[in-house]
Amino acid sequence: MSLLATSGLTKHFGGVAAVESMALSMEEGEILGLIGPNGSGKTTALNMLSGFLAPDAGRVWLAGEEVTGMKPVALARRGLLRMFQMTRVFARISAFDNLITAGLARGLSEKETQSRAQALMEELTLTPVQYLDAGQLSGGQRKLLEFGMCFIAPPRLALLDEPFAAVHPVMRETMAGFIRRRNAEGHAFLVVSHDMPIVVDLCARTACMNAGRLIAAGPTREVLKDPAVIEAYLGSGSHA
């Protein structure tokens, strides 16, 4: 049984098909890449999978349970969490208190939240800035903080939308190492990224979208050699 599966997933905006009849699946403990040129429908797909956008048609299953159209809070209770391309943290409280807020909101005890928050601060190299307001952190540090907020009560599946975009290489490797370690513990990731070296490094399997449709899926290196994928990127003017 797949951890996540879709059938006929579709979303139109006016007369434009942002996602058309998407059939995607991923397994427990997998890191699946989702690539495609700008405007190909990747973020719209993530929005539907995470409950932030209702599909016009199609179905979604999480661990065998149909969750089509389910709201983000209900999906979070089932172990699916989403990180956004534009980082979402509480800018006016400290980085450490961001983790505390996330832990308490997820139902952890105060003692357990404190312990996990401190461990995550150290693992994500944020200890030197843990008492600064989150709004004072660099973009990369805010990304790392959002990883901590997502994983203070580790999800079964994390959907990541361009987590490595515009991030310093050192912080990018910190994020990649964090993903590897959590994956080794059994957590699954769906990673949308234009950073092809990172996709190749992290994702054994990758799916590619173009113009709202899934055009290839399989072992990452094979997908990147697929003529349809190459044409989609060259045709879009992508640098990937």
Contact 28, 51 (CB under 8 A): no
User: Do 164 and 63 share a structural domain?
Assistant: yes
Amino acid at 2: S
Q: Residue 148's domain spans which residues?
A: 89-154
Beta bridge partners of residue 60, listed in sequence order:
6
Instruction: Concatenate the DSSP letters of all residues of 152-197 into one string.
Output: SS--SEEEEESTTTT--HHHHHHHHHHHHHHHHTT-EEEEE-S-HH
Q: How many domains does the chain have?
A: 2
240 has pLDDT over 80 = no
Mean pLDDT on 144-164: 92
235 part of a folded domain:
yes
Reported as a pLDDT band with limits 50, 70 and 90, residue 238 is very low
| Number of C-beta neighbours around residue 17 at 10 A | 17
Mean pLDDT on 84-105: 91
49 part of a folded domain:
yes
User: Do 166 and 136 share a structural domain?
Assistant: no
0.85 surpassed by pTM: yes
User: Do 95 and 174 share a structural domain?
Assistant: no
Question: 95-114: buried (b, 16+ CB within 10 Å) or exposed (e) per residue?
Answer: bbbbbbbbbeebebeeeebe
Question: Residue 84's pLDDT is what?
Answer: 82
User: Which residue carries 């991030």 as its tokens?
Assistant: 167
Reported as a pLDDT band with limits 50, 70 and 90, residue 124 is very high
Reported as a pLDDT band with limits 50, 70 and 90, residue 1 is confident
User: Do 97 and 61 share a structural domain?
Assistant: no
Q: Can you tell me whether residue 62 is helix, strand or coil?
A: strand
- Note the pLDDT tens digit of each residue in 59-77: 999 999 999 999 999 999 9
Residues whose CB falls within 8 Å of the CB of residue 110, separated by 6 or more in sequence, listed in order: 104
96 part of a folded domain:
yes
69 part of a folded domain:
yes
84 part of a folded domain:
no
Contact 47, 34 (CB under 8 A): no
149 has pLDDT over 70 = yes
User: Do 192 and 112 share a structural domain?
Assistant: no
User: What is the spatial distance between Cα 76 and Cα 158, in angstroms, rounded to a whole number?
Assistant: 10
User: Do 240 and 170 share a structural domain?
Assistant: yes
User: What is the spatial distance between Cα 224 and Cα 35, in angstroms, rounded to a whole number?
Assistant: 10
Mean pLDDT on 216-220: 96
N- to C-terminal Cα distance for the chain? 33
6 has pLDDT over 60 = yes
User: Do 159 and 72 share a structural domain?
Assistant: yes
